[in-house]
Amino acid sequence: MAKIKKVYTAVATSVGGRGSGSAKTNDGKLDVKIDNPVEMGGKGEGTNPDQLFAMAYSSCYLGTIKYVATKEKKTVPISPESTVTAHVSFGPRADKKGFGIAVKLEVSLPGVKKSLAAKLARNAHVACAYSHAIRRNVTVVTKIV
């Protein structure tokens, strides 16, 4: 396991699990009802862990693209309209021993040439904490839109 110098630690507690629970952060800023999506037999009345992961990964990845852009020899303008949309799919693993996820990231960097956007996206996968955490365990496809 890679060692890190801890800068911040997020703390959240879940009760009841995926299908009928809740989760909240220790500071109270996020407090959500957890439910399975309708496609998985839930009522769809709350959010689900896959949505939370999609939000976290997309925001971390976009922040990392901005970080990587500042490391370029010339300044790369990342506009406030830049987006990363994460599609997180959930389902049983092929080995039938549990469940897994697959991710598609759609990257939109208005005003940045697609070739440069692709380079920034590749470099962001190296630096992003979420990309690092799931490397070799989750298929991630990145599309520049």
Instruction: Map out the domains of the chain as residue ranges.
Output: 1-47, 48-144
**CA gap 100, 89 in Å, rounded:** 8
Domain 1-47 -> CATH class: mainly beta
pTM of the model: 0.92
pLDDT of residue 98: 95
98-131 pLDDT per residue, tens: 999 999 999 999 999 999 999 999 999 999 999 9
**CA gap 82, 77 in Å, rounded:** 10
DSSP state string for the chain? ------S----EEEES-TTEEEEEETTSS-EEEEE--GGGTS---SB-HHHHHHHHHHHHHHHHHHHHHHHSSS-----TT-EEEEEEEEEE-TTSSSEEEEEEEEEE-TTS-HHHHHHHHHHHHHH-HHHHHHTTTSEEEEEE-
Pick the CATH number of 48-144 from 1.10.40.50, 3.30.420.40, 3.30.300.20, 3.40.50.720: 3.30.300.20
47-99 pLDDT per residue, tens: 999 999 999 999 999 999 999 999 877 678 889 999 999 999 999 999 999 99
Span 124-144, average pLDDT: 96
pLDDT of residue 80: 92
Residue closest to 10 by CA, chosen among 29, 30, 26: 26
pLDDT of residue 77: 80
pLDDT of residue 20: 87
pLDDT of residue 1: 61
Residue 80's Cβ-count burial label (10 Å; 0-12, 13-18, 19+) is exposed
pLDDT of residue 108: 97
Would you place residue 134 in the very low, low, confident or very high pLDDT band (cuts 50, 70, 90)? very high
